[in-house]
Amino acid sequence: MFRLGLFLTILLVLPSLAFAKQELRRGYVAKVIDGDTVVVESVKNGRFICRLYGIDAPEMAYIGGKPGQPYGKPATEKMVELVDKKNVEVRLTGAMSHKRDVCFVSQEGVDVNLEMLESGFAWAYKKHLRGKVRKLYISAEEKAKRAKAGLWKQTNPLAPWKFKKLFW
């Protein structure tokens, strides 16, 4: 009986530990890099690059010849509409990705990560999703697919992680 109780306790506690090192920061979005990355200026913490947790937006074309994906520019434009030159709250997960802090971003109470999924301008990054948001983010992607919102207007869109393997 003790083992079962211990197992259930671990099962309930582990998802919350996935984000145990969270830090809350407030700042101003100085620049939108693309549909899942922004630069935030914070009086207290300085400038930092934030990679939005749990989503992956279509890739932009980059100087140097790396090709972009369909909807890379519209995804970036959606991010600009949501947060560019606006005050945001950022919850850092404690993880890093390519020298960027992995974060949840909200603007006036709106979960920007979720909004990018609901509007059809990002994939739920299922490989990395943990905790309470996993089901929420996957559900938002599925809803956008059914509505043919944003990138889901395409017949068979290629996920960014697959696109990079093929073309970068």
pLDDT tens-digit profile of 27-76? 999 999 999 999 999 999 999 999 999 999 999 998 778 899 999 999 99
Q: Under 8 Å CB-to-CB from 6, ≥6 apart: which residues?
A: none
- CATH number for 19-167 (one of 3.40.50.410, 3.30.1440.10, 2.40.50.90, 2.60.40.1730): it is 2.40.50.90
DSSP states of 57-68: PPPPPBTTTB--
Tokens 């979005």 -> residue: 29
Residue type at position 119: S
Q: Give the span between the Cα atoms of 126 and 138, in whole angstroms.
A: 7
**Band of residue 15 on the pLDDT scale cut at 50, 70, 90:** very low
User: For the segment 95-123, what is each residue's pLDDT rounded down to a tens digit?
Assistant: 999 999 999 999 999 999 999 999 999 99
The pTM assigned to this predicted structure is: 0.87
Query: Is it the case that residue 144 has pLDDT exceeding 70?
Result: yes
Question: According to DSSP H, which parts of 26-148 are helical?
Answer: 72-83, 112-118, 133-147
What are the extents of the domains in the chain? 19-167
**Band of residue 11 on the pLDDT scale cut at 50, 70, 90:** very low
Q: What radius of gyration, in Å, describes the C-alpha atoms of the chain?
A: 17
